[in-house]
Amino acid sequence: MLGKLFLFILFQILASSSSSSEEDESSSESGNKGEHPKSSSHGHWNYLDQDAWSSDFQHCSGQSQSPINIATRQAIFDPQLPEIKLEGYDLSDSELLKLVNNGHTLQLNLPDTMRIVSGFDNIFLAAQLHFHWGTIEAPGSEHTIDNVHFPAEIHVVHYNSKYHNISEAASKLDGLAVLGAFIGIGLHENENYEKILSSLMDVSREESDTEIPGFNVRNLLPNKLAKFYRYNGSLTTPPCYQTVNWTIFNDTITVSRKQLASLEDTLKAGLDQHLTKNFRAPQLLYNRQVMSSFRAEPSSTGPQIPSYPDSDGQSKKGRTINEPAYSKEVLSRGDILAIVFGALFTVTLLSFMIYACQQRKKTLSLKKDTRQNVIYKPATKEEV
Ligand SMILES: [Zn+2]
């Protein structure tokens, strides 16, 4: 029993050290420059020449661009931020939703019966959701938390109900509200994400689409929506209109490694290129402030709910399980645990060796006794 426990602990220590080395490797990834050739067949812009976007789309060089890095220490706690309440997200499976590979992302069109009824001055109606992702080597969220990318990010795009449609709203100052959440890697398949990902093969070609049955779209977002960051930003793709009221949830969602790999590997942009690394680099904050609906103190409990770690601002990109990054605090805690377990392991090993030595001695003396018995037995018999 004790042996099993220590084997388990040893395994855990080994596993954690291997996962942190994986992070170190991916941290060498820089920006969007990659091995993928330029893909220009699907429009006038692509992710490999982001610096050139502003020559065709003037808003892209504005001072309220998205995504941004969220420095958790700098976020201002605003107790007045109203809670986000969603309605109509639980769609009937008789309602068919259009799933599209538009060459830039995987997009699911949503009915305007889905809405944000609390959280903003007006009601906002859903239009579509889509994803941003990287590759197996490089995480591909758009927003970063203390300079850490997550494997992927979901955006649920809503428009202000005071406008007729999203096209009209998109260029208006109070036109859009996007709910963003980070997607991490967990141990189990996410059955809610599977409702979309199971149809990936049907939209592998650029500009292809399919229809999928409605489901509870709420389940694509984190369980708890109470903790979020809020700031004014833009569309993260051209024409980069600076009209988005951004909500980035603190809690994350997880999908399995296999599910994320299917997103990274299945879709094509153009004829022969993989649709990957469809994320824009974080933009300068300028004079904007990021508000938060919660106090930034790191919580001491709640392993599933990451309390985003402090960082000195150095860029660490990491593919992680459940949590976005290992903070210094978590690392030092991990170190302490490792030392404690290491010490326990050593003590047990020593105890085991001492025990083994004693057993050996006993066995030897027993054997001696046995031999002696063998010698004396016949004599005893003779005596009888
Ligand atoms: Zn997006």
Calculate Rg over the CA atoms of the chain.
Answer: 28
Which range in 248-262, 341-355, 365-379 is most confidently predicted, on average pLDDT? 248-262
φ/ψ (deg, to 5) at 130: -155, 175
Q: How far is the CA of 154 from the centre of ligand 1 (A)?
A: 7
Q: How far is the CA of 155 from the centre of ligand 1 (A)?
A: 5
Which comes out higher in pLDDT, residue 373 or 81? 81
Residue 11 has pLDDT above 90, yes or no: no
Told to judge if 143 belongs to the known catalytic residues of this protein, a careful annotator would answer: no
Q: How far is the CA of 280 from the centre of ligand 1 (A)?
A: 9
Residue 224 has pLDDT above 80, yes or no: yes
> Once rounded to an integer, what is the mean pLDDT over residues 114-126?
97
Q: How far is the CA of 351 from the centre of ligand 1 (A)?
A: 58
From the candidates 104, 130, 143, 158, which is the catalytic residue?
104
pLDDT tens-digit readout, 177-213 = 999 999 999 999 999 999 999 999 999 999 999 999 9
Place of tokens 């009601």: 123
Q: Are 234 and 64 in contact (CB under 8 A)?
A: yes
Neighbours of 217 (CB within 10 A): 23
Q: Are 240 and 60 in contact (CB under 8 A)?
A: yes
Q: How far is the CA of 336 from the centre of ligand 1 (A)?
A: 40
Tokens read off for 140 = 């591909």
Name the band, by pLDDT with cuts 50, 70 and 90, for residue 321: very low
Residue 159 has pLDDT above 60, yes or no: yes
Residue 22: what pLDDT? 29
> Once rounded to an integer, what is the mean pLDDT over residues 228-247?
98
Biggest alpha carbon distance in the chain? 116
Class of the domain covering 31-326: alpha beta
Question: Which distant-in-sequence residues (6+ apart) come within 8 Å of 377 by Cβ?
Answer: none
Q: Amino acid identity of 315?
A: S
